[in-house]
Structure 1
Amino acid sequence: MPADQDRDSIAAATRILELLWRHSLPSKPGARGPKPGLTVDDVVAAGITLADRDGIEKLTIRAVATQLGLRAMSLYTYVPSKDALIVLMVDAVAAADPPIPAGLPARERMIAIAARIRTELIEHPWLLEVSPWRQVLGPARMRRYEHQLAAIEDVGLSDLAMDRAIAVLTDFATGNARLAIAAAGAAAQLSDAQWWEVNGPLLARVMPAGEFPLAGRVGTAVGEHYQAPADPDGAFEYGVATLVDGILADA
């Protein structure tokens, strides 16, 4: 990487980290004059509102500025780029996750780790469009990780196993949340009962029953029971309980 690009990358990373940890860093002396009417927190909150409503693909600096009654260029005095804004948004959403009550049984505490991740994703579906790899860690996400570790510290896992348990629970919750969000979106256009009413008989007519005896039998039972292709909520309850029981059995 050329030296200029390297310096630019370091400067951008430094700026994002300083914004993420802005409430923990010492205040910098500023220029004299009236304080700005908005804060970085206001900009981040507006970004979350827009992404929740319209999706992250429609999130732009201009759209956020309009939401706040500013010119687009003015917003760059608060956040340097859309990418930086998204990093701040991800961390701000995590701040809404309180500690897991220590008085709960260990099994319920572990289930709560996955349940809270799933709820967050369903409430903010745009989070699924943000790459989880090399996410810059801000105070809220670090605090949540601290809370998650505290929730399972007493179950007998090693440090590495605790991290892996949280990762597995998070991955399962993420996959299930994606299915739940897709189901909700499809139901907004056509109810699952209506979908199955049309597709169930059609599938039974075109699919050679002798070629798929198990899939036909089980699939029909599932479709008739759920009146839908699947049951994301029930699958989450069953799956997270099975995962947690397996983790605890190895502790």
Structure 2
Amino acid sequence: MPTDSDAKTTEQAARILELLWRHALPAKVGGRGPKPGLSVDAVVAAGIALADRDGIGKLTIRAVAAELGLRAMSLYTYVPSKEALLVLMVDAVAAGDPPIPVGLPVRERLIAIATRIRDELLAHPWLLEVSPWRQVLGPARMRRYERQLTAIDGIGLSDLAMDRAIAVLTDFATGNARLAIAARGAAAQLSDADWWQVHGPLLTRVMPAEEFPLAGRVGTAVGEHYQAPADPDGAFAYGVAVLVDGLLADPGA
């Protein structure tokens, strides 16, 4: 039999879905609700601005309320919890992803799927700290998925393979974005060139060359070329091209 806990979970899930799909659902007549003068959209926008500026660690209902010049308790009229706010923020960010032009060659459409995911994460690094597992689907994320599927529909992939292709491109873009953001944060403290000038010679001095002949040769070449431990932008361009070429070479996989 359903328990009180099950009923509460269902109620919370229903509330979040109602908020996510609020613009698609009929407006409620009468009853209690948010006061005029502020909207859920405004609360979500304030949450995104705060997370972009200060990181997700600083995101609290109290902090968002302060951004809007309100008391924390009044914000619960619009969103029931920080967790619900995060769900709304993730979907709102996805709404900024425009359609992929159908006139592009299919290879460029596939690359665009990964590029746009990466660009979104670079613009909003806090998204990397939101678990992608069991994310509640809102209209913007569903619309993006529909557009991604439309971009690769008809190229010979089965339905499962289309979903898998999008997942692989998304995972690659996410991993590369994580590295790029880490590089950006490190560079804010010490430039890669300065870091390499210190660590490169020290590593050469302590690492036995005869034990790591290939790693030493290739690592030195990479460090001298990039003047950094790695090249996230170049790695993304290379990697996404290889992934896409592999998908197109065997669309029936």
TM-score by length of 2: 0.97
> Could you say if the C-alpha distance between residues 188 and 34 of structure 1 is closer, same or farther in structure 2, counting changes exceeding 3 Å?
closer
Does residue 239 in structure 1 map to residue 239 in structure 2? yes
Displacement of 1:111: 0.1
- Aligned residue for 1:182? 182
Pairing of 1:61-76 with structure 2 (within 5 A): 61-76=61-76
1:134 is aligned to 134
Structure 1: distance between partners of 2:184 and 2:32:
51
Distance 1:31 1:213 in 2: 74
Hey, what's the Cα distance between the residues in 2 that align with 1:2 and 1:214? 62
1:151 aligns with 2:151: yes
Q: CA deviation at 1:154?
A: 2.1
- Percent identical among aligned pairs is 82
Find runs of 4+ consecutive structure 1 residues off by over 6 angstroms.
Answer: none
For residues 107-154 of structure 1, what are the alpha-carbon distances to aligned partners after superposition, in whole Å with 9 as ceiling and x for unaligned? 000000000000000000000000000000000000000000000002
C-alpha distance in structure 2 between counterparts of 1:64 and 1:152, whole Å: 39
Q: 1:79 to 1:210 in 2, by over 3 A?
A: same
* Matches of 1:233 and 1:32, distance apart in 2: 50
Amino acid in the other structure paired with 1:152? I
Residues 81-120 of structure 1 mapped to structure 2, 5 A cutoff: 81-120=81-120
Classify the secondary structure of the residue corresponding to 2:122. helix
Matches within 5 A, 1:154-233: 154-233=154-233
- What amino acid maps onto 2:93 in structure 1? V
Deviations 1:83-102 (A, max 9, x none): 00000000000000011000
What displacement does 1:31 show? Answer: 4.8
Cα drift, residue 155 of structure 1: 1.2
Equivalent-residue separation in structure 2 for 1:76 and 1:65 (angstroms) = 9
CA contact (8 A) 2:44 2:92 kept: yes
Question: Structure 1 counterpart of 2:64, which letter?
Answer: V
How far the C-alpha of 1:156 sits from its partner, in A, is: 0.9
Match for residue 4 of structure 2? Answer: 4
CA distance in 2, matches of 1:34, 1:117: 33
Within-5 A mapping of 1:9-24: 9-24=9-24
Alpha-carbon shift at residue 30 of structure 1 (Å): 2.4
Partner of 1:60: 60
Q: Distance in 2 between matches of 1:146 and 1:44?
A: 23
Q: Give the aligned CA root-mean-square deviation in angstroms.
A: 1.4
Secondary structure at 1:211 match in 2: coil
Distance across 2 between alignment mates of 1:89 and 1:229: 33
Q: Deviations over 1:163-198 (max 9, x none)?
A: 000000000000000000000000000000000000
**Separation in 2, partners of 1:91, 1:33:** 22
Paired with 1:181 and 1:245, the residues of 2 have a C-alpha distance of 26
